[in-house]
Structure 1
Amino acid sequence: MRGTRLFVTAALAAATSLPLTAGPATAVERNPVIFVHGWNGSASNWNELVADFKADGYTDGELTAWNYNTSQSNKTTADQLSAVVDDVLARTGATEADIVTHSMGGLNSRWYLKFVGGADEVDDWVSLAGPNHGTTSANSCFDASCVEMRPGSEFLATLNDGDESPGAVNYGTWWSTCDETIDPDDSTVVSGARNTQTGCITHLGFLTDDGVSQDVRTFVA
């Protein structure tokens, strides 16, 4: 039976941006990357993927793993994400950022792209195992964000009304029929995105799968 524990990967974190290191704003040849975790997760969820990006030559200053309060409305998180992106762009000198998300991180980042001006500041957007059209797993948790993740919620109806992939952003999603948390499995699929069905990967497995990591790094390159 699906349960809320399947979302849990770390203790709930306070809302704050955690750039891996600070650096002066300089001319850049590639976009900085911001990683947005899912419900009840934390920035540490991204340790393996961040290490893979660094192995590809990214510097600490180009990679930001962000912590936020996952119990709050995804609309509130979207506003906070906007400030994080602005800070990263100012700090790095880049004109656009890439956003890589897991699970619920796909929802607040999509709200930012669609309703908070993010489509003008983001080049590539990635959703790994995101409940982009809701998941029944959210029926057993009761945070504001959980209510928004439930199939048929007002939040999702608004988010998915009309163009699901607005602006010039390059949208990509990855999903699996072995995901025990996202129900229905293909909820992650976003109209207008490059949607990839993977092999048998669990919900948390998307954070550490080597094939997914390589795909994501190629997608945002």
Structure 2
Amino acid sequence: MRRCVSVSGILFLAFVMWAGVASAAPAYPVPDSFLAGVPLELGNPDGSAPGSNDWSCRPSDAHPEPVVLVHGTGGARQTNWAVYAPLLANEGYCVYSLTYGNFPDLPWPLDAIGGMTPIDIGTAQIAAFVDQVLASTGAAKVDLVGHSQGTVQANNYVKFFGGADKVAKIVSLAPPWQGTYGNDQISAGRFLRSLGVDDAVAAGFPVCQACPEMLQGSKFIDRMRAGGVYVPGIEYTNIVTRYDELVVPYTSGLEPGPDTTNIVVQDGCQQDYSDHVAVAGSARAAGFVLNALDRDNPRVVPCSFVAPVAG
């Protein structure tokens, strides 16, 4: 009888261990292309990317800061983050994303084109969203992962909108710290076309008011750079691509500073041809992001072929 009980106990323990492993398996499929956000938006208008905006999520001891994803010009909470929302959720992070700087009174899909209003208007929306995330999760701080305009939005928040004590890390994909000579309005046009908006309607879409603010020598860039770009006490990681056609030159994103890591995706991986949008879908860039969010547990960063635009 004792032998039967012992065997039963072993079988039960094995089942529990198997169930634990099964529950730790990735919950969300992770696409390998930045453009995967477009079919998500078409199938779930004004929705959230899988893995994001779960307001019941509570941060773990391993990842105490929720991650807030801040999209780029023309992007939104779903279209910009088809790769990162499920990836980070599968890694055990509480992940949140908003659409800022859009025109919510316009019909879909025009209301899904964000980053269009003046930068300060978008930053105020980000500040309110971060407060909502902190209140929901009980966390003391968040980490911000930004892409394109989202990088300067994140920094504008910590430097001028009271976010310095609420942010632990800022990880930036394709940031224009020194300003750009590129035309970021192109990003909005790409998203409009990908969501099926015809040229006649797109031509009447409001002009991007944030775009000229990111040009080199603009009042916004000069204000951000005055006294130094970065805010003390925050860990910064900048990830750029040599093939960036919108942040010109791409070295605008390689701003030196204390507690700052600058990374060029192609260093050590010449087959990654990520451009401005594809860098937000590149597996290599994502590996650097994961390491930036968890510096104590670095992993090998992959190197694989990445095509421009698609990522």
Using the size of structure 1 for normalisation, the TM-score is 0.85
Q: Which has the larger Rg?
A: 2
Aligned with 1:92 (options 137, 152, 177): 137
Match of 1:108 in 2: 153
Counterpart residue type for residue 41 of structure 1: G
Cα distance in 2 for residues equivalent to 1:189 and 1:214: 18
Which runs of structure 2 are paired with 1:29-40 in the superposition (5 Å)? 29=61, 30-40=64-74
| Aligned residues between the structures | 206
**Is contact 1:164-1:191 (8 Å) kept?**
no
The DSSP-based 3-state class of the residue aligned with 1:100 is strand
Distance 1:99 1:16, change over 3 A: farther
Residue number in structure 2 paired with 1:182: 247
Shift of 1:57: 2.4
CA distance in 1, matches of 2:174, 2:244: 8
The letter for the 1-side match of 2:56 is: G
Aligned to 1:126: 171
Within 5 Å, give how 1:31-180 maps onto structure 2. 31-44=65-78, 45-58=80-93, 62-69=94-101, 70-138=115-183, 142-180=207-245
> What are the Cα deviations for residues 116-168 of structure 1, in whole angstroms up to 9, with x where unaligned?
12111000101101222212223867522011011110110000111211120
CA distance in 1, matches of 2:127, 2:239: 24
CA–CA separation in structure 1 for the residues paired with 2:241 and 2:208: 25
| Counterpart-to-counterpart distance in 2, 1:212 and 1:178 | 13
- Which contiguous aligned blocks of 4+ residues in structure 1 show a shift greater than 4 angstroms? 15-19, 139-142
Aligned residues of 2:73 and 2:149 also touching (Cα < 8 A): yes
Q: Deviations over 1:6-37 (max 9, x none)?
A: xxx869xxx9999522227x574221000000
Q: CA deviation at 1:184?
A: 1.0
1:1-40 matched pairs, under 5 angstroms: 20-23=53-56, 28-29=60-61, 30-40=64-74
Which structure dedicates a bigger proportion of its chain to strand? 1
Q: What TM-score, normalized to structure 2?
A: 0.61
Q: Distance in 1 between matches of 2:152 and 2:172?
A: 9
Q: Which runs of 5+ in 2 are unaligned?
A: 1-36, 102-114, 187-206, 267-272, 295-311
8 Å CA contact 2:177, 2:229 repeated in 1: no
Per the TM alignment, residue 176 of structure 1 is displaced from its structure 2 partner at its CA by 1.4
Corresponding residue number in structure 2 for 1:3: none
Kept in 2: contact 1:73–1:144 (CA 8 A): yes
Any stretches of 5+ residues in structure 1 without a counterpart? Answer: 1-8
CA contact (8 A) 2:73 2:185 kept: no
Alignment CA distance shift 1:74-1:140 (3 Å)? closer
The equivalent position to 2:264 in structure 1, one of 188, 194, 197, is: 197
- Residue 5 (structure 1) aligns with: none
Residue of structure 2 aligned with 1:206, choices 272, 279, 285? 279
